[in-house]
């Protein structure tokens, strides 16, 4: 661990002791009616709050019976399908939908121009911030780099302790604006110091959209095609928000309820998102698909492909976790609307990039995986492709390095986090404090000389 003292031997003993004393009998969860992960056994989340920002539909009521249905995702009352169709490929949607989620309604041209102007004004980091903070301690873990940058920005904000709603709104808009810079510059710093690559820092251009700026800041030649930018824009739009119950957004609301400042709240959300069970899922999809390529001799042979997918489910292949990554979702049943709408854009990009064979491979896995899972697992609802299945493939086609996959998620989700932070502040009443059932038994204190 670098300059830290090595305590490997002691840590092993400490860990074994901790595990021995911390194990809880799984049957006690049923005994006390505790829902693990705040979810019912069928996966339904425990109600923990009320929101008007978004809604997810995975089931519908048919004569009093809840029946699985094709998934629907709503932003402030608008079906995400309609929001994307409304763009018609003629304009970028990130800024428009950010306005919707943050402020509650779709903007007209004048309102959108004002909002875009605010984002442009805020696309600026403090003097020498890139040199003194981002480049000071580069890390391959760009989520840690991003979190450190967010927390350090608090030191440059004289209003960090101001609890007025206007100040919180200003801080949210500023963070939405600079997240692309923090992510891309963090990658360039890592690439320069760790990989000995060339260093270049491209400033965001005021006339460009968030998606366009991401691509031109990332690439050495700053060049990109309209299709590339539009597909990335759609990817961002689909990752911006997903209800108040997902782990990072719930973290946002929990920490907000404590009265913490904006920077601390967003840093906590970032820490949640970086977990492989949340924002890191698209990386696992890419690793899995690489593994399948290496172990299936003919990717067009559906029987061979299906057999290997079966080995993955049986924990005999890949990471032996028994999961086909990118398949299934905690909420959706028959389909993830984000994956459904995204697929057509993925196909367009794949055709333009000469990646038809790769797209066909993904298409085959998407079709066969639910069959394999249904044959080998008892499932209470449908197993469908989720948005993570295709997002990594898109990032790969756009030349976005794997280290930036989860930060790209954060660049989008900062909008949803900000919207939920503001909603929590407007309606704040009590600190969020769920209960835990204690199973601890009182013990008699023993003097040091009496302890074995």
CATH of the domain at 348: 1.10.230.10
Q: Which domain holds residue 243?
A: 92-274+402-427
With CA atoms as reference, report the closest residue to 186 among 395, 415, 410. Answer: 410
286 shares a domain with 202: no
408 shares a domain with 366: no
390 shares a domain with 407: no
Q: What is the pLDDT of residues 399-430, one digit of tens each?
A: 999 999 999 999 999 999 999 999 999 998 89
270 shares a domain with 409: yes
Radius of gyration of the chain from Cα atoms?
24
Could you give the CA distance from residue 103 to residue 379 in angstroms, rounded to a whole number?
Answer: 39
Q: Which residues of the chain have pLDDT under 70?
A: 1-4, 42, 378-382
Q: What is the pLDDT of residue 280?
A: 84
Half-sphere exposure of 303 (CA within 13 A, CB side): 0
Could you give the CA distance from residue 150 to residue 143 in angstroms, rounded to a whole number?
Answer: 11
Strand partners, 78: 75
Could you give the CA distance from residue 435 to residue 35 in angstroms, rounded to a whole number?
Answer: 12
Helical spans, DSSP H, in 104-140:
109-122, 129
- The answer as to whether 331 is a domain residue is yes
CATH code, domain carrying 187:
1.10.580.10
294 shares a domain with 257: no
- The answer as to whether 150 is a domain residue is yes
265 shares a domain with 127: yes
Q: What is the pLDDT of residue 384?
A: 83
- The answer as to whether 134 is a domain residue is yes
Q: What is the pLDDT of residue 70?
A: 86
- The answer as to whether 260 is a domain residue is yes
Helix (H, G, I), strand (E, B) or coil at 439: coil
- The answer as to whether 293 is a domain residue is yes
286 shares a domain with 195: no
Strand partners, 62: 65
Residues 313, 373: contact at Cβ < 8 Å? yes
260 shares a domain with 129: yes
Number of domains in the chain: 2
316 shares a domain with 374: yes
321 shares a domain with 184: no
360 CB burial (10 A radius; 0-12, 13-18, 19+): middle
Helix (H, G, I), strand (E, B) or coil at 399: coil
Q: What is the pLDDT of residue 282?
A: 87
Q: What dihedral angle (degrees, nearest 10) is formed by the CA atoms of 378, 383, 387, 390?
A: 100
245 shares a domain with 163: yes
Residues 142, 273: contact at Cβ < 8 Å? no
- The answer as to whether 343 is a domain residue is yes
* Boundary-marking domain end, from 380, 397, 414: 397
Catalytic residues: 329, 388
240 shares a domain with 115: yes
């Amino acid at each position: 661990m670098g300059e830290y003292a090595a305590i490997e031997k002691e840590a092993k003993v400490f860990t074994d002791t901790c595990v021995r004393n911390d194990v809880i009998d799984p049957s006690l969860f049923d005994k006390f009616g505790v829902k693990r992960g705040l979810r019912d056994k069928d996966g339904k989340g425990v109600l923990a709050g009320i929101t008007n920002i978004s809604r997810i539909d995975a089931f519908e009521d048919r004569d009093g019976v809840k029946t699985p249905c094709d998934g629907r995702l709503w932003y402030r009352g608008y079906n995400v399908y309609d929001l994307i169709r409304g763009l018609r490929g003629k304009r970028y949607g990130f800024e428009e939908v950010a306005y919707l989620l943050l402020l509650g309604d779709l903007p007209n041209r004048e309102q959108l121009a004002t909002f875009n102007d605010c984002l442009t004004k805020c696309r600026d980091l403090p003097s020498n911030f890139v040199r003194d903070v981002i480049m000071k301690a580069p890390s391959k873990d760009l989520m840690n780099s991003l979190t450190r940058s967010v927390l350090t920005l608090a030191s440059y904000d004289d209003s960090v302790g101001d609890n007025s709603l206007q100040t919180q709104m200003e801080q949210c808009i500023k963070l939405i604006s600079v997240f692309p810079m923090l992510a891309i510059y963090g990658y360039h710093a890592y690439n320069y110091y760790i990989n000995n690559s060339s260093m270049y820092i491209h400033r965001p251009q005021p006339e460009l959209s968030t998606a366009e700026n991401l691509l031109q800041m990332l690439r050495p030649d700053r060049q990109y095609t309209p299709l590339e930018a539009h597909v990335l824009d759609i990817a961002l739009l689909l990752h911006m928000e997903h209800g108040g119950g997902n782990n990072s957004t719930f973290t946002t609301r929990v920490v907000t309820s404590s009265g913490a400042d904006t920077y601390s709240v967003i840093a906590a959300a970032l820490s949640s998102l970086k977990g492989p069970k949340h924002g890191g899922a698209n990386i696992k999809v890419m690793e899995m698909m690489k593994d399948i390529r290496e172990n299936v001799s003919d990717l067009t042979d559906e029987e061979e492909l299906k057999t290997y997918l079966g080995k993955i489910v049986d924990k005999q292949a890949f990471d032996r976790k028994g999961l086909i990554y990118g398949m299934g979702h905690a909420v959706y049943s028959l389909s993830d609307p984000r994956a459904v709408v995204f697929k057509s854009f993925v196909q367009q990009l794949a055709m333009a990039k000469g990646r038809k064979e790769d797209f066909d491979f993904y298409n085959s896995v998407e079709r066969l995986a639910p069959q394999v899972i249904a044959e080998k697992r008892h499932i209470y609802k449908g197993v469908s492709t989720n948005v993570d299945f295709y997002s990594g493939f898109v990032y790969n086609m756009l030349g976005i390095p794997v280290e930036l996959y989860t930060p790209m998620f954060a660049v989008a989700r900062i909008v949803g986090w900000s919207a939920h932070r503001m909603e929590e502040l407007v309606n704040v009443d009590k600190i969020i404090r769920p209960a835990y059932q204690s199973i601890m038994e009182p013990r008699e204190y023993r003097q040091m000389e009496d302890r074995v």
